[in-house]
Chains A and B, each alone.
Chain A
Amino acid sequence: MSTTSATAQQTPTGQPPAERERVSAFAGLSRVMLLGFLRDRGTLFFTLVLPLLFLLLFGSLYKSSGTSHVKIAEVGSVQLLDQAPGDARAQLDKVLSITKYEDQNAALEKVRKGDLDGLVTSGPNGQVVLRFSASDQVKSGSVQAILNSVVESANQAASGKAPAFTLAASQVEDNSLKPIQYLTPGLLGYAIAMGAVYGASFTLVTWRKKRVLRRLRLTPVSPLAIVGARVGVSVLVALAQTALFLVVATMPYFGLKLSGNWWLIVPLVICATIAFMSIGLVTGSIAKSEEAANGINQIIVLPMSFLGGAFIPLDVAPGWLQTVSHALPLRYLIDPAKSVLSKGGGVMDALPSMGILLAFAAVMTLIASRFFNWDDA
């Protein structure tokens, strides 16, 4: 041998021990896949940055939704509003924003256009005149009810008697769904679906196109090591996405409060990643090029995200949508994730979904194996 002394130690027949071989092949493959992910700016953007931007955007937009403020115009002076006692007026300002107008016609025009929800002015004999537009039924109902209660309580106070009935109101701690509570699992589900579907399908398509799959077949690497490395890397990416989302969502600005069993998100995300990867296996086996794979993946991931509750909470969705969502794997991540993250859900809220996700993955992998090809030729 004319090679250096370092290489001369290994003769053509000198085989390294089989155990070491498997370990390092797995590590080598994992490294290749991870580098392929980290060095592809497009993939990095679509799996990590874009979903996070969605969270920041929607999180900020919907932050104050739920307390729908009613805007009314006060034309001239309305005694009832102007002379309300301090604390009553403060209560009123929480739900009403009152703007003073001199010109009644201008104010009326604004009501017609929907810029204002109502117009209040003084009528004869202590009448309070309210004009409203019924374009937004919820708001028109609110404005009537609020002003009615103002008038009623003024009447009651004018009678000089103690009220016969009083309302004792107290706030209940967070049983309602705040936007951040459904936005976090929803958008996280979308992010993980994107990452896992694309990761699996692009590895398959590029490796087939670049003949790497075929080349791998002529190395002693076991198919199990290849699949294992791909699952490992995809799960790692998904857990990174999860960590990023939770850090952002629990910031005081967004105010997500994690409940006791939130760690159940980890096994849930792992199962969901495997399920989404199986979709990528099918699309990657069918598609002949990256462009085709990209198209097919979009057609699957985007509708699945809309119908599976990634962008809107399914609780308020129409019945047909809820039915459809049961056929989509994304639902089995988002629904239990919502429950365990912030609504105090336990193991039993996550376990059935995890089972469904894994069963889904098994079926899809079986389908993928029927379309799978080592090379294009």
Chain B
Amino acid sequence: MTAAISADGIRKRYGDVQAVDGVSLTVETGEFYGILGPNGAGKTTTLEILEGIREPDEGRIELLGLAPWPRNSKLLPRIGVQFQASAFFNKLTARETIRTFASFYGVGPKRADAMLERVGLTDSATVHTDKMSGGQAQRLSIACALAHDPELVFLDEPTTGLDPQARRNLWDLLRDINSEGRTVVLTTHYLDEAEVLCDRVSVMDHGKVLKTGAPAALVREIDDTVRVSVESGQLSAARARELFGAAGAEIANLEDNSVSLSVSTRAPAPVLSVLAEQNALRGLEVRGATLEDVFLQLTGREYRA
């Protein structure tokens, strides 16, 4: 079976900026694939090259076994695309918008309306697109990308700017889309999103793929400490250090800020048993490394606009 996407050595330069610098990736059929990276990492350009609206300077790409560039009208009905900023016709309502997009694929109004229902916009069907909230616009945009039942779906930062509730709703929708057998490729700079949704992610920066793998595998790979914290006042910092030492737990850091007593360690088991013995588990929190730690380790901590 051919991979949904196979890209090899894509490069794209704008003037002095090497936006994409030798990206290679393979997305399997049915996979939920994330492209992660800070702003300006080259995610969107990579996605646009994969979609076929930009021609790469170098590299070979196949979507569903077909080349996306130049414009390939055999391939286009099989892919669905959602842009970072929604692209709607002016002066149309939500229902008119999705029906119009559906018409481009020869899909009738019934199926278009069903898609609107699916993303929960039936009640807003007569709202003009320029009056919609960010979440509504994103959902409509995704519905438009799905109206023709594509096999492969590209989503460019679909949850940017949404409130937490709208984000969770959208996650459910995206998971459903994927579980129906569609291949989904998504860019995001929200790490929790990638961790929750994606089967595999590629972390990108400076136009290059730094690392690819399942989120959990990437997290495990970075050998980071576990942070254990309990409420202050149950155990003094000095006494805690003494007990942990006696239990043979190597402590990287220990502090009490009078709200929490926090311990960073690579050996959480003895630390936890000491706290249990001392009956000092009130407010217990254990936090392991997350994709965020992977991300920061790979892309650095310096602030970027």
Residues of A within 8 A of B (CB): 1-4, 6-7, 10-18, 20-21, 24-25, 27-29, 31-32, 35-36, 39-40, 206-207, 210-212, 214-222, 374
Contacts and interface: CB of A to CB of B under 8 A. Distances in A.
B106 A17 contact: yes
Interface in B61-85: 71, 73, 76-79, 81, 83, 85
A167 to B, nearest CB: 65
Contacts of A20: 106
Interface residues of B, number: 42
11 contacts: A2-B179, A3-B180, A6-B111, A12-B151, A12-B181, A15-B77, A17-B106, A21-B106, A210-B88, A218-B79, A220-B104
Interface string B285-298: 00000000000000
A212 B88 contact: yes
Given A2-B176, A16-B106, A218-B81, A32 B114 contact: no
Nearest to B76: A220
B85 A217 contact: no
A7 B149 contact: yes
Given A28-B104, A35-B91, A218-B76, 6 more contacts: A3-B180, A10-B107, A32-B89, A35-B92, A211-B85, A222-B73
* B interface majority secondary structure: loop
A212 B107 CA distance: 19
A222 B73 CA distance: 9
Given A28-B104, A220-B104, A35 B96 contact: yes
Contact of B90 (A10, A14, A21, A36): A36
Contacts of B52: 218
A39 B102 CA distance: 22
Interface of B: 51-53, 71, 73, 76-79, 81, 83, 85, 87-92, 96, 99-108, 110-111, 114-115, 118, 149-151, 176, 179-182
B92 to A, nearest CB: 6
Nearest to B101: A219
Nearest to A26: B103
Contacts of A4: 114
Contact of B103 (A3, A28, A210): A28
Nearest to A1: B180
Nearest to A216: B104
A219 B149 contact: no
Contacts of A35: 91-92, 96
A86 to B, nearest CB: 67
Contacts of B179: 2
A99 to B, nearest CB: 59
A21 B149 contact: no
A96 B79 CA distance: 81
A13 B83 contact: no
Nearest to B84: A211
Contacts of B53: 214, 217-218, 374
Nearest to A11: B149
Contact of A6 (B83, B96, B99, B114): B114
B51 A218 contact: yes
A3 B179 CA distance: 11
A214 B83 contact: yes
Contacts of B51: 218
A10 B111 CA distance: 9
B111 A7 contact: yes
A221 B104 contact: yes
A24 B106 contact: yes
Nearest to B107: A16
Contacts of B88: 210, 212
Contacts of A17: 106
B25 to A, nearest CB: 20
Contacts of A12: 78, 149-151, 181-182
A221 B71 CA distance: 11
B114 A27 contact: no
A311 B239 CA distance: 98
* Residue of B91, B106, B110, B181 most packed against chain A (CB within 10 A): B106
A40 B85 contact: no
A280 B106 CA distance: 30
Contacts of A39: 91
A27 B108 CA distance: 12
B89 A2 contact: no
Contacts of B89: 32, 36, 207, 210, 212
Contacts of A13: 78, 151
Given A35-B92, A214-B53, A16 B103 contact: no
Contacts of B181: 1, 12
Contacts of B79: 218
A35 B89 CA distance: 10
B78 to A, nearest CB: 7
B111 A40 contact: no
Contacts of A27: 103
A220 B105 contact: yes
Contact of A36 (B73, B91, B150): B91
Nearest to B68: A218
A3 B90 contact: no
Contacts of B118: 3
Contacts of B100: 28-29, 31-32
Which of A12, A18, A31, A210 has the most CB atoms of chain B within a 10 A radius of its CB? Answer: A12
Nearest to A27: B103
Given A3-B114, A11-B149, A220-B73, A32 B180 contact: no
